Chains A and B, each alone.
Chain A
Amino acid sequence: MRTILHLLQKEFLQIFRNRMMLPIIFIMPLLQLIILVNAATMEMKNLNIFIVDQDLSVTSRLLVDRFSASPFFRISNWSTSLDEADETMERGKTDIILNIPGNFERDLVQENRAEVQLLVNAINGTVAGIGYSYAASIIGGFNREIITKWYQLPKNVVTLQSISAKPSFWYNPELNYKVFMVPAVLAILITVIGIFLSGLNIVREKELGTIEQINVTPIRKYQFIFGKLVPFLIIGLVELGFGLTIGKILFNIPINGSLFVLFTTASIYLITILGIGLLISTLASTLQQSIFISYFLIMVFMMMSGLFTSVETMPNWAQTINIINPIAYFMKLVRTILLKGSGFRDIYQDIAALVIYGITILSLATWRYRKTV
């Protein structure tokens, strides 16, 4: 027992003597949280729309008014020439072109049907899709408006049925993407600490030869591993607390669940991640290798974890792979604890899975460590 305390004392001294450590642990997350959470939003504002109005009728003007009144669009230009609009788009200055043909009003009233053309700059597919759906909904809303105002229902005609299905969003009523992203960035941050700092630490010792010195002493291997992993467990949890505080202060994210549940879950997750870092350290012989292996793993797991897109939108085989993706578990758990206030009773299945995962990985890693180091 005393041995472990001595090991911990040495580790902490070494970690904090490294001048770069403190900035990495505190400044990096701060910066990343601020920048990234602010950047990550799927909401659109100020899309540039170029209006080509070849009709110049009352109706077409009204339609255009709807667009200028919308906060999503900014009318960059009016013209009657489609060619002019095309060129602007080619130069990248326009996101959408609304082309209202010359017979718009007449067709609408006489034929009951008129077409307008939306040309969407789809170089950025996401922007295009969302921009198009905004434009379509403005047109749809305008359509409904003029029907109600102008169209006289002839008698004895069955009324149109309509079902109003308005969505309400719980836990995040404004669909605030920051609320979505902060837990995710936190999860990534402590993952980085867990895998990189701990795993690399061990490989570094391997490279420098200091492990040999440890091996001749009475220090047992499990004590050594403990001494290597526990400091980073603690640092990871501190980081989580720090990040959470910043999230609350800067972004006012909800903390609906119990902090105890959160930190317990985080500890289990960290132990798992540290185990993975340890395993990697037994597989790599140089620092460079372990860096790349860790990097690769983090990258793949991160992308599949629901950071950018939801797990539910992934194909089934991908979701199956996620069974061995610890980040996926933690991402889900962090969000659900913070935003929905879930307690142990609600999430015990995922936690159990994580515990099993952690124990397996740690055992595997320790076993390999004993054999090879």
Chain B
Amino acid sequence: MVNRGPIIHVRNLVKKFDDFVANDNLSFDVNPGEIFGFLGANGAGKTTAIRILCGLSKPTSGEIKVAGFDAYNQVDSIKRNIGYMSQKFSLYEDLTVYENIRFYGGIYGIKYQEIKTLAEELIEKLGLTKYRNTLIESLPLGWKQKLAFSVAIFHKPKIVFLDEPTSGVDPITRRQFWEMIYEAAHNGITVFVTTHYMDEAEYCDRVSIMVDGRIEALDTPAELVRIYQTENINNVFIKIARNPDRMTVEK
């Protein structure tokens, strides 16, 4: 029976590094199949929060459930049910397209025969048939990012975390990338994405904005624009990030 509750459930998440509070009492939910945008300035605490959600670090306090699993004790189960793609790296440069897919498929427990079939399908779908046995380092950045995303959801995880996935990519490829994200969400995969491109924020179902370790805004893009009386998310962001004290949001 599919659980219709939030797929990510966070209440009063606090993460401290000695005395420094990186995440200050975060509370939010993400719904299954949602495209959730996680925005914030550099140093606001986004990366810290994502790492906790992915099971890479333990929270100091608070209630965190990812895909129904507890972030303190069930980290391994979390990892099995999520995918991850970071801007820094995703695929091994010195392995081929096929070898990367096979590796990650195997890591997530897909059987050999299935991997083979699914991999060939994926390669064809991405139009990479010619490059099946090419090393990743020879591929242009746009192809790499698209492939990386596909590999991240290859094992059909419940949630996929994307950390600045489209950095440095040309606008056309970015467009194609977001189409892939839509398709994944349509197929039931929740997408948790951070980005610096404010126009991409508009593609999300809901958006949260973090400032200094706190979530200062959380709503659909349309609502945020309305509440903050600006033309677009970009300006919402600027308004919030500049004046964190002036937080009188009335719905």
**Chain A interfacial positions (CB closer than 8 Å to B):** 2-3, 5-7, 9-10, 13-14, 17-18, 208-210, 212-213, 215-220
A6-B107, A216-B54 are known; give 20 further A-B pairs, CB within 8 A: A2-B106, A2-B109, A3-B106, A3-B109, A9-B103, A13-B99, A14-B94, A208-B89, A209-B86, A209-B88, A212-B88, A213-B84, A213-B86, A213-B89, A215-B56, A216-B55, A217-B79, A217-B104, A218-B76, A219-B107
CA distance A10 to B56 in the complex (A): 23
Whether B84 and A216, one on each chain, are in contact in the complex, defined by CB atoms closer than 8 angstroms, is yes
- Residues on B with C-beta less than 8 A from A220 are 76
Whether A212 and B107, one on each chain, are in contact in the complex, defined by CB atoms closer than 8 angstroms, is no
Residue from A17, A18, A217 in contact with B108 in the complex, judged by beta carbons closer than 8 Å? A217
B80 on the A face (CB < 8 A)? yes
Whether A14 and B80, one on each chain, are in contact in the complex, defined by CB atoms closer than 8 angstroms, is no
Min CB distance A15 to B, Å, is: 10
Min CB distance A47 to B, Å, is: 55
- Residues on B with C-beta less than 8 A from A6 are 102-103, 106-107
Min CB distance A297 to B, Å, is: 28
CA distance A2 to B54 in the complex (A): 23
Whether A212 and B92, one on each chain, are in contact in the complex, defined by CB atoms closer than 8 angstroms, is no
Whether B86 and A10, one on each chain, are in contact in the complex, defined by CB atoms closer than 8 angstroms, is no
**Chain B interfacial positions (CB closer than 8 Å to A):** 54-56, 76, 79-80, 82, 84, 86, 88-90, 92, 94-95, 99, 102-104, 106-109, 135, 161
Whether B92 and A210, one on each chain, are in contact in the complex, defined by CB atoms closer than 8 angstroms, is yes
Whether A18 and B94, one on each chain, are in contact in the complex, defined by CB atoms closer than 8 angstroms, is yes
- Residues on A with C-beta less than 8 A from B56 are 212, 215-216
**A–B Cβ pairs within 8 angstroms, 16 of them:** A6-B102, A6-B107, A10-B103, A13-B94, A13-B99, A14-B92, A212-B56, A213-B86, A215-B56, A216-B82, A216-B84, A217-B104, A217-B108, A218-B80, A218-B109, A219-B107
- Residues on A with C-beta less than 8 A from B54 are 216
Closest to B115 in A: A6
Residue from B79, B89, B109 in contact with A209 in the complex, judged by beta carbons closer than 8 Å? B89
Min CB distance B103 to A, Å, is: 5
Min CB distance A215 to B, Å, is: 6
- Residues on B with C-beta less than 8 A from A210 are 89, 92
Whether A218 and B86, one on each chain, are in contact in the complex, defined by CB atoms closer than 8 angstroms, is no
CA distance A216 to B92 in the complex (A): 15
- Residues on A with C-beta less than 8 A from B86 are 209, 212-213
CA distance A209 to B106 in the complex (A): 21
Whether A3 and B95, one on each chain, are in contact in the complex, defined by CB atoms closer than 8 angstroms, is no
Closest to A220 in B: B76
